[in-house]
C-alpha cells in the first residue's frame, strides 16, 4: 500500500452511471452519523446476540420510532 493516494480526480458515485443506478435501486443512503459509544456498544451486543447487523438494528429502531 502507498502512504498517500491522490483522489483529486476521483468522481462521486452519483456521477458514475452504473454506481448511481446501484444507489438508486437500493433505497438506502450512505451517511456519517455520530453515536455515543455506549449506544453503539449496546447495538453491537444486540447484533451479536440476534445474528443481525448492528446497522440493521439501528434502522429498525428508527423505523419504529417514526411510526409513533
Give the pLDDT band (50/70/90) at residue 13: confident
CB contact at 8 A, 28 and 18: no
Tell me what percent of the chain is helix, strand and coil, each rounded to the nearest 5. Answer: 60, 0, 40
CB contact at 8 A, 39 and 28: no
What does each C-alpha distance from 47 to 6, 24, 29 come to in angstroms? 36, 27, 21
pLDDT in tens, 16-55: 999 888 878 878 888 899 999 999 999 999 999 999 999 9
> Quick check: pTM over 0.85?
no
Amino acid at each position: 500500500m502507498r502512504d498517500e493516494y491522490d483522489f483529486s480526480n476521483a468522481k462521486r458515485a452519483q456521477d458514475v452511471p452504473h454506481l448511481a443506478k446501484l444507489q438508486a435501486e437500493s433505497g438506502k443512503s450512505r451517511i456519517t452519523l455520530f453515536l455515543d459509544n455506549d449506544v453503539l456498544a449496546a447495538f453491537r451486543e444486540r447484533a451479536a446476540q440476534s445474528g443481525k447487523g448492528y446497522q440493521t438494528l439501528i434502522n429498525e429502531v428508527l423505523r419504529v420510532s417514526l411510526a409513533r
